[in-house]
Amino acid sequence: MGRLFRLILIIGVLGSILHSVFLREDQPDFSQPRRGMPEAFRAPAPPESFPQRPLPPPSAADPRGIIEVPSRSGDAQGTAAAIDPKGIWLTARHVAEGCREVLVEANDRWVRTRVALLHPQTDLAVLATRGAPPAFPIAGGNAGLRIGQSAWAVGFPKSVPSVVEGQLLGRGRIGFSGRMRGEASVTVWTERRRTPAGDGPLSGISGGPLLDAGGRIVGVAVAATERRGRFYAASPESLAEMVTRLPEADRPGPVPPPDVRLQPERAAAFGAWAMEARMVTRVGCRGQR
């Protein structure tokens, strides 16, 4: 009888261990304490000196370019941003499409996600996990963008945590070829500076949020032209339309904007803090479908 009891106990312990191992990737842990947001980000920032000309609405006459999305040759990585603490993430469609598994990094391990949406036209995708860190709000309408203003793309080009400051040039349209189809409105930005300093390709920042001075998402990095020093972001209107396509359970709720006032001297540090807090994290494509 004692031997039988010990056998049952051993089986129970092994079962618990196996259960925790196999579910580990599905149980994200964002509860690890992180340092709070530094007070310096909340200090008033001086106004930017850029022309007060609003960004015009999207037009069929906007300059058009073609981006070829190459076929996958193996696993790949990009960037994702939390847009609801219940576990909703925003990334680029070309990062998540065609993957056997899509994962996000949570406290130095990878967590499986559910792909909630692959937008049929724009380069946007939404992922879902069981919980997420604090989230960024998506700016509504045209986000109040003005020609010449700054915004900051946060992400992992070549897996290096980075913040890229861009200056808004205007609007454009991108047509996709290769393994992806569609045409989308984008905003066009010229790269002003990068932290840490560098001038290599921005591949890996795809899916990263473009943040305005108030810490709102005003775009998602989708492409770049290294030779011209420009990068392209999904437009605010595309983001708003994407939200309407989500089922109610996956639709982000109201998220208060972070109490920040960013300027170039603070933005890089804020981006680094957001990546440390996993509000912006790496997203991985494992295998192909």
DSSP code of residue 259: S
Specify the pLDDT at position 11: 36
The amino acid at residue 15 is G
41 or 286, higher pLDDT: 286
Strand pairing partners for 194?
164
Prediction pTM value: 0.86
Considering Cα of 145, then 77, then 80, then 173, what sign does the dihedral take?
positive
Local confidence band at 42 (pLDDT 50, 70, 90 cut-offs): low
Query: Could you report the per-residue pLDDT of 245-288, keeping only the tens digit for each?
Result: 999 999 999 999 888 888 888 899 999 999 999 999 999 999 98
What are 7's two structure tokens?
Answer: 């056998």
What are 187's two structure tokens?
Answer: 């905003």
Query: Could you report the per-residue pLDDT of 58-99, keeping only the tens digit for each?
Result: 999 999 998 888 877 778 899 999 999 999 999 999 999 999
Specify the pLDDT at position 265: 82
The CATH fold assigned to 52-288 is Thrombin, subunit H (2.40.10)
Q: Which residue is listed with tokens 């312990």?
A: 13
Specify the pLDDT at position 21: 38
Pairing mode of beta strands 209-211, 182-195: unpaired
Indicate the length of the chain as a whole number.
Answer: 289
Q: Where are the alpha helices (DSSP H) in the chain?
A: 2-23, 93-96, 236-245, 264-276
The whole-angstrom separation of Cα 136 and Cα 85 is 9
42 or 222, higher pLDDT: 222
